[in-house]
Amino acid sequence: MTVIDAPATGPDWSSAASNANRRRRYAADRRLRIYGLTAIIIAVGVLVILLATVLTGGASAFVQTRVTVEFTIDPELVSADNIQRGNYRQIITNAVAELFPEIADDRTALTAAGRILTSNAQFFVRDAVVADPSLIGRTLTLAIPASDPFDQLNKGTIARDLPEEQRRVNDRDTALFDQLVDRGLVSTPFNWGLFFNADSRFPELAGLRGAIIGSFYLLLVTLLVSVPVGIAAAIYLEEFARRGRWSRLIEVNINNLAAVPSVVFGLLGLAVFINFFGLPRSAPLVGGLVLSLMTLPTIIIVTRAALKAVPPSIREAAYGIGASKHQMVLHHVLPLALPGILTGTIIGMAQALGETAPLLLVGMNAFLTAAPGGITDAATALPTQIYIWADSSERGFVAKTSAGIVVLLLFLIVMNAVAIFLRRRLERTW
């Protein structure tokens, strides 16, 4: 038995040295707090700046300048027998001449005035007439998107006080456009085309439809490949594999795989899937396979962690009443690990959704004016579409790029919200 001898006099807690010591410790506490707070403020500040830039830059792309024009569908120009092949260009010219009677005889001025409207205006009219042939011989009122320079002029991105020779639009055309504004023919409705149009060379018509559908197919392939393979691999490694040199080797390699730069996976996809297996280029199938390779390590690591987190008592309980291994895993361990697996999977998918470099290498940055119809059609994805737009010189694509980023971020936020929601739901029932 040991007896601790209490010192005759205890420490003097009120001495100056003791007080100073305490003050120092409190000061250190405060400093640590301030460091943490500063770090958070910096992180949040950077995030706010990023979001603010993207949002302010992209905001103008969410509305579209439209000019309301009356078109006279002259039966001489469009015959009811062949609506598709009518002379719609002339209809547009006539309509513009009607809009500006004062320049109706000046062909050059008229052509220039026609450029206020998007150069695809004739197809808007054609589609309307095809949809309703009874319009032939009557007038049709349509709000046609303004061409990019006038769209920018209307949105104020083109400064009117610049010297004329440095401006995209000259004084005469500006005056004509202002005349339309004064007559109340110019409106700026929400730009649904941003979501429902495919890509286009004309910024006023370019939309994300192809990219959204492409990303959807891409994620579908990624999900279908990486989730079953990843979960099965994780279950094997965690529940079946004997711990040994081989399992350690595999584990190290999986962890390394997670750290491989994505562009390398792109090269691999190019070499293996396209060159060796001969799969189609630019297709979501190939892109999805490449992204699966990237997502696999994440899913395997997350799933293993989730399986490991299931208490051993549950495994023993299942074994104890004679459950076989697959029953133990499928009935008890996997359902308990599911919230974790699900969150990991969705985070992996979100990563895949934002991945650009490997897609560039497998050719998913093609310029396509039609949305893909399946996983083997050529397609773009949201991030590559943003990349394409960012690379385009027209003024309108600047805002389009930011708008594309906003849409991508929205998808990511929705995916993460779903992950959180599902996680909460599943945790409550189990």
Partner 1 sequence: MEQLVAPTSKMGVDVRHTGEAGTTEIKVSAQNVDVFYGEKHAIKGVSVNVPARSVMAFIGPSGCGKSTFLRCINRMNDTIEGCKVTGNIRLDDRDIYDANLDVVELRARVGMVFQKPNPFPKSIFENVAYGPRIHGLVHGKADLDAIVEQSLRKAALWEEVKDRLKEPGTGLSGGQQQRLCIARAIAVNPEVILMDEPCSALDPIATARVEELIDELRQNYTIIIVTHSMQQAARVSQQTAFFHLGILVETGSTEFIFTNPHDQRTQDYITGRFG
How does DSSP classify residue 332? I
Of 374, 341, 378, nearest to 359 by C-alpha is 378
Task: Check residue 187 and report its DSSP letter.
Answer: E
Window contacting partner 1 (CB under 8 A); options: 167-175, 289-297, 324-332, 409-417: 324-332
Nearest to 384 by CA among 215, 196, 203, 195: 215
By CB under 8 A, name the one of 334, 336, 341, 388 that touches partner 1. 336
Distance, CA of 275 to chain centre: 28
Q: Which segment (105-113, 267-275, 314-322, 401-409) binds partner 1 by CB under 8 A?
A: 314-322
Find out whether 358 and 290 touch, Cβ atoms under 8 Å.
Answer: yes
Kindly tell me which of 201 and 331 has the beta carbon lying closer to partner 1: 331
Task: Considering the complex, state which of residue 51 and residue 317 has its C-beta at the smaller distance from partner 1.
Answer: 317
Residue 321 contacts partner 1 per CB under 8 A: yes
Distance CA 201, CA 427 (A): 49
Should residue 430 be labelled a site residue for partner 1 when binding is judged by CB under 8 A? yes
Residue among 292, 294, 287 nearest 264 (CA):
294
User: φ and ψ at 68, to 5 degrees?
Assistant: -85, 120
Name the 3-class secondary structure at 343: helix
| 117: nearest Cα among 131, 99, 104 | 99
Six-digit token string for 362: 């497998």
Q: If binding means CB under 8 A, how many residues of this protein chain bind partner 1?
A: 20
Contacts of partner 1 in 243-272 (CB under 8 A) = 243
Residue 327 binding partner 1, by CB under 8 A: yes
Taking the least distance from each CB to partner 1, the nearer of 318 and 353 is 318
Site for partner 1 in 33-62 (CB under 8 A): none
Nearer CB in complex with partner 1: 243/245: 243
320 binding partner 1? (CB under 8 A):
yes
Instruction: Report the nearest approach of partner 1 to the CB of residue 241 (Å).
Output: 10
Q: What are phi and psi of 425, to 5 degrees?
A: -60, -50
Displacement of CA 117 from its chain's centroid (Å): 29
Nearer to partner 1, 227 or 237 (CB): 237
Binding status of residue 319 toward partner 1 by CB under 8 A:
yes
Nearer to partner 1, 280 or 335 (CB): 335
Near partner 1 by CB under 8 A, which window of 19-27, 92-100, 277-285, 317-325? 317-325
Complex with partner 1: residue 142 or 426, whichever CB lies closer: 426
211 binds partner 1 (CB under 8 A): no
CB of 338 to partner 1, least distance (A): 12
Q: Per rule CB under 8 A, is residue 308 in the interface with partner 1?
A: no
Helix (H) or strand (E) holding 140: strand 139-145
Closer to partner 1 at the Cβ: 281 or 315? 315
Q: Which positions from 134 to 163 touch partner 1 by CB under 8 A, shown as an x/- string?
A: ------------------------------
Angle at 75 between CA 74 and CA 80, to 5 degrees: 135
**In this chain, which stretch among 65-73, 265-273, 300-308, 316-324 interacts with partner 1, using CB under 8 A?**
316-324
Cβ partners under 8 Å of residue 229, min gap 6 = 292, 296
Closest to 189 in 3D by CA, of 54, 71, 69, 62: 62
Give the largest CA-CA distance in the chain: 118
Site string for partner 1, 219-248 (x = CB under 8 A): -----------------------xx-----
For partner 1, the closer CB: 196 or 246: 246
Verify binding: residue 317, partner 1, rule CB under 8 A: yes
- Rounded to a whole number of angstroms, the minimum distance from the CB of residue 234 to partner 1 is 18
Beta strand spans in 8-120 (E): 66-72
**Distance in Å, CB of 378 to partner 1, minimum:** 48
| Range in contact with partner 1 (rule: CB under 8 A) among 37-45, 65-73, 197-205, 328-336 | 328-336
Q: Who's near 269: CB < 8 A, 6+ residues apart?
A: 286, 287, 289, 290, 293, 358, 361, 362
Distance (Å, whole) CA 291 – CA 285: 10
- By CB under 8 A, is residue 322 in contact with partner 1? yes
Distances from the Cα of 110 to the Cα of 114, 142, 202, angstroms: 6, 19, 21
CB of 188 to partner 1, least distance (A): 55
How many other CB atoms sit within 10 Å of the CB of residue 78?
Answer: 25
**Binding stretches for partner 1 (CB under 8 A):** 242-243, 311, 313-324, 327, 331-332, 336, 430
